[in-house]
Amino acid sequence: MGDPQVGTGGTYYVPFPVLALASNGGDIFLAAGGGGSTANKEVPNVVHAHRYDEATGKLNTIAALNTEKALVVSLTYSLVADLVARQLKERVKVLSLNVAENTLTQLCDFSTEEAGKEPEQNIAKYSPDGKLIVTGGTDGQVKLWKAETPPAVPTFLRLCGAKTKEILDADFSPDSEFLAACDDTGECRLWQVAKEEPENGKTLQYASKHIKGKAFVKLVRFLPTADGKWTLVLGATGGRGPAVVGLFAPDGSKLSEVMVDKQPLKSIALDVEKGRCVVGLMSGAKSVYSLPGLSLQKKTKEVHSLPAQRVAFIGDTAISGSGDRDFHLLKLTGSSRSVVCIALMFLVVFAVVALMALRIGAKGAALGQGKSDL
C-alpha cells in the first residue's frame, strides 16, 4: 500500500485504472478500480482510502482492500450508514472504513440483480437519513430496500415503477421522501417514496435547445433549495453529444440549463454547502459550475487521456479519476473550508463492485466509452 505518485499540474498516478471515486466532502476520499477478472499483482482490483491535505498538496493512502477477482466500478459515501460494495456483478457488499485504524472491513453482503444472463448493478445508494437503499442495473428494475444495521442484510421493500431498460443512475431527495432514477430510455422518473401509485411516478423528459433530436438523461442529483424544498439536476447528452446540465422543478419544468461540452458527459458531483457542481467529460476534461446559477467557474484542459470516469469534491478541490490510472486535483478559488475531524469515526461508503472478465472495452466502464455512473 503505497502513496500515489506525484505528477505535474495536479496529477497523481496510481497502479490501477480509476473507475470509482467517493468523498466525505472534507479531506478523505476513496478510489477503486483494477484489471477485472484477470487482475494480477501489476493491476490489482482494489479499493484505496486517501487523505488529502489542501494546504500542502500531500496525498496519502491510509487504507486499502484487495477485492481479488471483483472489480469495483462505483463508490458513494453515506455518513449515517456503512460502506457498501457491489460484488460478483449482482451483489452488494457493506464495508466500513476506520480511519483511526487504517482499515476497510466487510460487514455484510446481499444480492440485488437476478434477471438476465449476466445481471449487473450500476447504482446502490443510501437515502440521506440512512434508512433506505436504492439499487438498479441491467434488469431494468428500480429496487427499494430497508437498510438494517450490519451484519443484518437490508430488507427488500418494493419495486419502483415498471421494468424498463437498464437503470443508469438514481438519487434521493435531501429529506429522503422522494426518489429519482434515469435509465437507457433517456427518461427520468420521480417517485414519492411513501406512495406506491402511480407505478411509474412522474416521468421527466429533457428537451434542450442545444441538442438536435432526443436528449438522453444519464445522471440525476437532488439539489436542496433555501426554502427547504429541492430541484433536480439532470445531466443529459445527445447520441454523440453535446452534453448539457439542467435544473428542473419538482413539477418537471426546466428552470435553466447550460451546455457543458460538445462531447458527452461522464460523471457529476455536487457540493451543496458551497453551491457548485463538477462535471466529468468524455474528453478527459472537467468543468465546475455554480449552483443554482450554472455559471462556469473553472474548466480544465484534457487532463486525462481517457474520459473523466468519476468526479468528487474534497474541500475546495475538485477531483477526477480515469481509466488511465490517475487522479487530477483542481484547486478552486475562494476561502478554504475547515476539515472536520474524523479520527475514530466510521466513514461510510457505497461501493458498487462487478466481477468483469476484462469487459472494459465492451461495457465502457474503465475506458469510459459507454454508460455513465456515482
Q: How confident is the model at residue 367 (pLDDT cuts 50, 70, 90)?
A: very low
In terms of residues, how long is the chain?
374
Closest residue by Cα to residue 203 from 255, 156, 246, 160: 160
More confident residue, 67 or 294: 294
Q: Work out the widest C-alpha separation in the chain, in whole angstroms.
A: 54
Return the number of other C-beta atoms located less than 10 Å from residue 266's C-beta.
Answer: 32
Mean pLDDT of 195-220: 90
Residue 163 has pLDDT above 80, yes or no: yes
> Please, which residues bridge with residue 276 across strands?
271, 290
Evaluate whether 82 touches 96 at the Cβ level (below 8 Å).
yes
Highest averaged pLDDT of the listed ranges 69-78, 123-132, 225-234, 332-341:
225-234
DSSP letter (8 states) at residue 37: G
User: Would you state the pLDDT for residue 347?
Assistant: 38
